């Protein structure tokens, strides 16, 4: 999750709300820093303040779309005129929230955008991890890893939802053809985690499931 907001109090509040809901958040205050964050990792969603110290986020997001970046974008702004909302969507935005706003509503809208997910790229990247969905290959730090069919399926599902909590039930529904016996999911995830090496990417969320972060 990426939050691009130059007003520190709003940035801190939004970041705290999203992290409290289980999201991993990169929070920055300029478009230049947003570029670095987007280049460094895939994000499930991005929240952009419209007017930032180094430019209007409309043009920035429009340029992202021209380069094929499909990360869902929510614009956060004090501009509430109908023409401003239309401009937000016309330049590649997926949703629009005006200030002042209720944090719970922002969280609900962001969660909905994450569920939609946009068009998934052929290669999922997170930090130094690359998951090539077409070739069914995984590299960590440029090194090709040997994964089983189940291990790849689990990693692909997690990598498509970076920063989001994925339940064991969801993994079973997407990665297994039949209901596995008890603790099998945990055992496969442990083998996957061992093969991925350090620093750890797949984290256990006690009582919930797993998250790639």
Q: What is the CATH number of the domain that holds 127?
A: 1.10.10.10
pLDDT at res. 197: 94
Tens-place pLDDT, residues 35-76: 999 888 778 889 999 999 999 999 999 988 888 788 899 998
Residues 110 and 16 in one domain: yes
Domain boundary among 60, 92, 116: 116
CB atoms < 10 A from the CB of 104, how many? 10
State whether 148 and 44 are in the same domain.
no
**107: its two tokens:** 């969280």
Burial (0-12, 13-18, 19+ Cβ within 10 Å), 183: exposed
Q: Give the count of beta carbons closer than 10 Å to the beta carbon of residue 74.
A: 20
| Res 122: pLDDT | 62
The predicted-structure confidence for 86-95, as pLDDT tens digits, reads as follows 888 888 888 8
Mark whether 103 and 139 lie in a shared domain: no
Same structural domain, 166 and 95: no
Mark which of 71, 90, 116 sits at the end of a domain.
116
Asked whether the beta carbons of 122 and 133 are under 8 A apart, the reply is: yes
Count of structural domains within the chain: 2
Residues forming a β-bridge with 144: 139
161-191 pLDDT per residue, tens: 778 888 888 888 888 877 788 788 899 999 9
- Grouping H, G, I as helix, E, B as strand and the rest as coil, residue 88 is helix
Please tell me the distance from the alpha carbon of residue 48 to that of residue 75, in angstroms, as a whole number: 5
Reported as a single tens digit per residue, the pLDDT across 96-147 is 888 888 898 888 888 878 766 544 556 778 888 988 877 889 999 999 999 9
d(CA 30, CA 12): 15
Q: What is the pLDDT of residue 117?
A: 58
* Residue 193 shares a structural domain with residue 102: no
Residues 134 and 45 placed together within one structural domain of the fold: no
Q: Same domain, yes or no, for 17 and 110?
A: yes
Residues 35 and 95 in one domain: yes
- In contact, 11 and 3? CB cutoff 8 Å: yes
The CATH number for 23's domain is: 3.40.50.2300
Is residue 172 located within the same domain as residue 69? no
Quote the domain boundaries for residue 172: 123-212
Asked which of 116, 147, 180 is the last residue of a domain, the reply is: 116
Indicate whether 140 and 86 sit together in one domain: no
Q: Which of 45, 42, 27, 23 is nearest to 165 (CA)?
A: 23
Cα–Cα distance for residue pair 133/124, rounded to 1 Å: 7
Q: Which of 123, 97, 106 is nearest to 42 (CA)?
A: 123
Residues 109 and 171 in one domain: no
Residues of the chain by 3-state class (helix, strand, coil), percent to 5: 40, 25, 35
Pair (88, 150) in one structural domain: no
Instruction: Kindly state the average pLDDT of the residues 195-205.
Output: 93
| CA 55 distance to own-chain centroid | 24
């Amino acid at each position: 999750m990426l939050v691009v907001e130059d007003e520190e109090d709003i940035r801190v509040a939004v970041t705290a709300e999203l992290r409290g809901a289980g999201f991993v958040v990169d929070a920055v205050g300029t478009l230049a820093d947003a570029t670095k964050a987007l280049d460094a990792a895939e994000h499930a969603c991005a929240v952009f303040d419209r007017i930032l110290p180094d430019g209007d986020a409309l043009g920035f997001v429009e340029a992202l779309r021209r380069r094929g970046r499909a990360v869902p974008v929510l614009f956060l702004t004090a501009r509430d005129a109908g023409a401003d909302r239309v401009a937000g969507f016309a330049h590649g935005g997926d949703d629009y929230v005006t200030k002042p706003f209720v944090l719970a509503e922002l969280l609900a809208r962001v969660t909905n955008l994450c569920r939609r997910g946009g068009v998934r790229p052929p290669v999922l990247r997170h930090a130094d991890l690359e998951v090539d969905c077409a070739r069914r290959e995984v590299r960590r730090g440029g090194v090709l890893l040997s994964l089983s069919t189940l291990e790849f399926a689990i990693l692909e599902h997690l990598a498509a939802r970076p920063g989001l909590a994925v339940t064991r039930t969801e993994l079973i529904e997407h990665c297994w053809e039949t209901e596995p016996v008890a603790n099998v999911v945990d055992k496969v995830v442990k083998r996957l985690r061992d093969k991925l090496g350090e620093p750890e990417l797949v984290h256990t969320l006690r009582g919930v499931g797993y998250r790639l972060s």
